[in-house]
A and B are shown apart, each in its own frame.
Chain A
Amino acid sequence: MRKKCRYFLFPLFLLVVMAAGCWEGREINERAFVFAVAFDLPEDEESEEGAGSVKGGNGGEELSKFTMSIQVPDPSRMAGSREQGQGGDSGKPFIVLSTTARTVLSGLQQLQRELDRTLFLGHSRLILIGEKVAREYGVDRILDYFQRNFQIQRVARVAIVEGKAREILEHMPPIGQEPTTALLNLLSGTGGTSQVYVSDLGKYMVENSNIGLEPVLPRVKKSGDLILTGGAAVIRHNRLTGWLTPFETRGLNILRNEFVGSDYEVECPFHPGDNINVAVVKTNAHHRLVREGKTLTLKILVRGVFETTEFTGEHGPEEELSEELTQRVAAEILNETRAALEKARELKADIIGIGKKIRAEQNKVWQGMDWEEEFLTFPVEIEVKMEWAQTIRRLA
C-alpha cells in the first residue's frame, strides 16, 4: 500500500514541478514578434546615441555602421483588412523600426528601447540585406548573429535587395496583410518559374562552408509599386560580386538540379513567326568528370521533359514537329545553362560547384589547382537532351 502511494505521489510531484508554467514565462502580448529584418547602409554617417565606437576583432579596425530595420506586426490591426485599418497614421498592420548600429545585437538593444514589448526573433522568417551592405560589409558579418542564435530557424529566408532593403519591409502587397508572408511565398519558388534561386539561412551556411562552391542568394527589388523577385545575387569571398538575370538563374537551377519547371517560348519550326509555348516539367543534370589525355573535362548531360502548352498559329501539335521542336527546346535550355556558366566565369565565382566536384572525386588533381584562376578556363561541355512528353488535350 505504501509503495502504491509512492507511485501515486511521484507523478503528482512531477505535475507540481512541471505543470506550473515555464520559468520566466512571458505572455504573448508582452512580446513583439520580429517577422523580418533588413540591413542597409546608413543615410549619413552621423553617430547615434548608443552606437559608439567599436573596435574590430582583428587588429583594431573600426567596424562600420549599418542601418537595421525590423518589421513587427501590430496585432490590433492584423484582424481587419487595409480598408478597415483605423487609428494609425499608415493603417498598416505592421510597424517598421530602424536604427543605426555596428552589430546586430546592439541594433536590437537600441530598438528595444522604443518598444514596451520584448523583441522576439524566434519567428523571424526573412532577412533582407541591401546590396550596398552586401558589397561593402559582406554577408557573413550580418548573418553571424543569426547563425549563432538558437532562436533563429535555419529555414529563415535570406535575400539580397537591389536597392534599399527597408523599402521592401514597408511595402504592402496587393493581396494579404503584410509583405513578409507575400515575399516568403515569392522566394519559395511557388510560382514555378525556376527564375528564383530558392535558398535559406541553412542552405547559405552549407554552401558557404563548401570548398569549391560559391553561395548564391535570391534577389529582390522594388520596382514602382511592385516587389519583384527573380534573379540571384552571387556571393564571392563573402561579398556580393554580381547579379544573375532571371534566365541565368533558371540556367543555374538546371545545372544544380534545383529546377522545378518553367515555361519557354520557341519559334514554330514550320511556321516562322508563330510561337509555341512549352512547359519544361523536369530536368536532370548529370555531372561527370572525364579525363581526355592530360585534360580533365566536366561533361554535363541535361535530360528533360517538356509539354506543349500554347500555339500562337493556326495549327496544334503535329508529329512532324517532334524532332525539330525538341531540338529547339534543347537549344533554349543549352543557351540558358551556358549563359549561367559564362556569368559565373565573368564574376569569377564557381556557383555551379565544379570545384567541389573535382575536390570530391579528383582530390589529388584538386590539391595542385589554383581554382580561382583555373575555373575561368576549365573545360566544361554541356549537352541537352529533351523529350516531348506529348500529353496532348487538343490536336487541332
Chain B
Amino acid sequence: MSKTTMFLSSRQIILLILGLSIGGGNLLLPGRVARVFGTGGWILVLAAGLIFIFAAWICACLGRIFPGETVVEFSRRLLGRPLGFLTGLVVVLFFLLYIPVEIRILQELVNISILRRAPSWFVSSTFFLVLAYATATDFETLAQVNEVLIEITLIVGLMVTLFGWRFFDPSHLQPVFSVEEMNLAKFWEEAGMILGFTGYPLLLLVFPFVRRHRSLPRAAVFAVTLVVLTYAFFTITTLGVFGWNEVAGQAWPGLELAKAVNFEVVILERLDMILIVSWLGAIFTTCFLAYHFAVSGLSRLFNLRSHSPLVWGLAPVIYYLSTILTNYFAWNKWLSYLSVLAVFVGVVLPVFLLFVAGLRRWLGSSGDTGED
C-alpha cells in the first residue's frame, strides 16, 4: 500500500474481506463439514461464524483505537519492539503461507476440469506470473479488480446454489445431530475449513487507509456475517441435495453440485465449467490480496519505501512452497497447520492486543493512543 492517498470506503472493505475469504477451499467446505459434524454441520458453520464475527469486530475496534497505524506499528507500541516485530512477522507469515496452497488448489481445479494433462509447473507458473505482476501494481487497482471478480464469483456461486434447490430433499438434513454421523476425531484433518472465515485479519493492515474509521466495525461485521451466511446456505444446499453420506465422500462438493444441476440448455449445460472459471477469479483475488498484504506488512516491518521489489523477491520462495504440496493430502495438511495460524492471527491476537490496549489506557500509560 504505497499510496497513502488511497482511502477505502466501507463497500471496498467489505469486498476486500469477501475477496480474501472466498477462495478455493470453499468448494470443499460442505464435504469437510459433513465428514466431521454430519448432517448438523451447517449449524456449526453458523456457530463458528459467530466467533469470527465477534473477532472481526474486535479487529475493527483496534482500527478505531489506532486509526493511522497498522498492526506492525501499534503492536510495537503495545508490546515493545521485539515482541511487536514478532507479531508483525506472524501476521505477514499468515498471509504469505496462504498463497502456495491456493496456487495448488487452482492447479488441481485446472487439471481436473480445463487442462487435464497440463503439467503443474505450467499451470502454477503462468498463474503465479500473472499474480506477481498484478500484486506489484498499486493497491487501488487491486481493490478495483477485486470488486469486479468477487462479485462475479458470488453471483455465479449463488446461481449454482439456487439451481441446486430443484433437487433439495429436506429429509437429508435430518437427524440434525446424530452421533453415528459425527467423527470429531477427523477435525484436525478438516481444520482447513477455518480459513474460509479468516479473511478479516486484513483489517489489521488497512487502518491507515480507511476513510471512515467509525463505520469500520459495522463494515467488518457485515462482511463476515455475509461470508458466514453464504457458507451456511451453500452447506445446507449441498447437504440437502446429496445427503450427508454422499457429501462426506466427495472431495469437491461445490463442483459436484454444479455438475448435478446441469441444464440441457446450451449455455447452462456445463454449469460446472462456468463455476470453475468464476472460481479461478476468486482464487486470484484471494492470492493477490494475501500476497499484497504479506509484502505490504513486510515493507512496513523493514521500513521499505516500495513493496514491488519484495513481490518479485519473494516469488521464487512462494513458488517453491507451492511445488512441495504435491497432492490433495499434502495441501490439506498444510491447510490444517495454517488454520492454527489463522485462529491465532484472527482471534487470539486481536483480543490480546485489544486487552493490552485497554489495560494500558486504564493504567494511564497509553501515551498518544486515542479515538479518531
A residues in contact (CB < 8 Å) with B: 6, 10, 13-14, 17, 22-24, 150-151, 153-155, 202, 205-206, 209-211, 353, 356-357, 359-361, 363, 367
In contact, A14 and B130 (Cβ under 8 angstroms) = yes
Q: What would 30 A/B residue contacts be, using CB atoms closer than 8 Å?
A: A13-B133, A17-B126, A17-B130, A23-B117, A23-B119, A24-B115, A24-B117, A24-B118, A151-B116, A153-B259, A154-B256, A154-B259, A154-B260, A154-B262, A155-B260, A155-B262, A202-B260, A205-B246, A209-B242, A209-B245, A210-B172, A211-B245, A353-B171, A356-B171, A357-B171, A360-B171, A360-B175, A361-B174, A361-B175, A367-B180
In B18-70, the 8 Å CB interface with A consists of: none
Contacts of B327 in A (CB 8 A): none
Asked if B122 CB lies within 8 Å of chain A CBs, one says yes
Contacts of B242 in A (CB 8 A): 205-206, 209
Counting chain B residues whose Cβ lies within 8 A of the other chain, the interface size class is: 20 to 34
Question: Nearest Cβ distance between residue B5 and chain A, in whole angstroms?
Answer: 15
Taking a contact as CB atoms closer than 8 A, the residue among A150, A202, A209, A359 that contacts B113 in the complex is: A150
Beyond the given pairs A205-B242, A209-B243, A360-B171, 18 more chain A to chain B contacts, judged by CB atoms under 8 angstroms and listed by A's residue number, are A14-B130, A17-B129, A22-B118, A23-B117, A151-B116, A154-B259, A154-B262, A155-B259, A155-B262, A206-B246, A209-B249, A210-B172, A210-B243, A211-B245, A353-B171, A359-B174, A361-B171, A361-B174
Asked if B112 CB lies within 8 Å of chain A CBs, one says yes
In contact, B118 and A150 (Cβ under 8 angstroms) = no
Contacts of A150 in B (CB 8 A): 112-113
Contacts of A353 in B (CB 8 A): 171
In contact, A23 and B118 (Cβ under 8 angstroms) = yes
Asked if B178 CB lies within 8 Å of chain A CBs, one says yes
Contacts of B249 in A (CB 8 A): 209
Contacts of B178 in A (CB 8 A): 363
Question: Nearest Cβ distance between residue B253 and chain A, in whole angstroms?
Answer: 12
Question: Nearest Cβ distance between residue A180 and chain B, in whole angstroms?
Answer: 15
Q: How far is the CA of A31 from the CA of B124 in the complex (A)?
A: 27
Which residue, of A23, A155, A359, has the highest number of chain B Cβ atoms within 10 A? A23
Question: Nearest Cβ distance between residue A258 and chain B, in whole angstroms?
Answer: 12
Contacts of B133 in A (CB 8 A): 10, 13
Residue in A closest to B115 when the chains form the complex, CB atoms: A23
- List the 7 closest pairs (A to B, CB-CB), nearest first: A360-B174, A23-B118, A209-B246, A209-B245, A363-B175, A360-B171, A150-B112
Question: Nearest Cβ distance between residue B327 and chain A, in whole angstroms?
Answer: 15
Question: Nearest Cβ distance between residue B141 and chain A, in whole angstroms?
Answer: 9
A206/B117 contact (C-beta < 8 A), A154-B259, A360-B175, A361-B174 known: no
Contacts of A359 in B (CB 8 A): 174-175
Contacts of B175 in A (CB 8 A): 359-361, 363
Residue in B closest to A363 when the chains form the complex, CB atoms: B175
Q: How far is the CA of A24 from the CA of B117 in the complex (A)?
A: 7
Residue in A closest to B241 when the chains form the complex, CB atoms: A206
Question: Nearest Cβ distance between residue B273 and chain A, in whole angstroms?
Answer: 11
Residue in B closest to A10 when the chains form the complex, CB atoms: B133
Contacts of B241 in A (CB 8 A): 206
Residue in A closest to B179 when the chains form the complex, CB atoms: A367
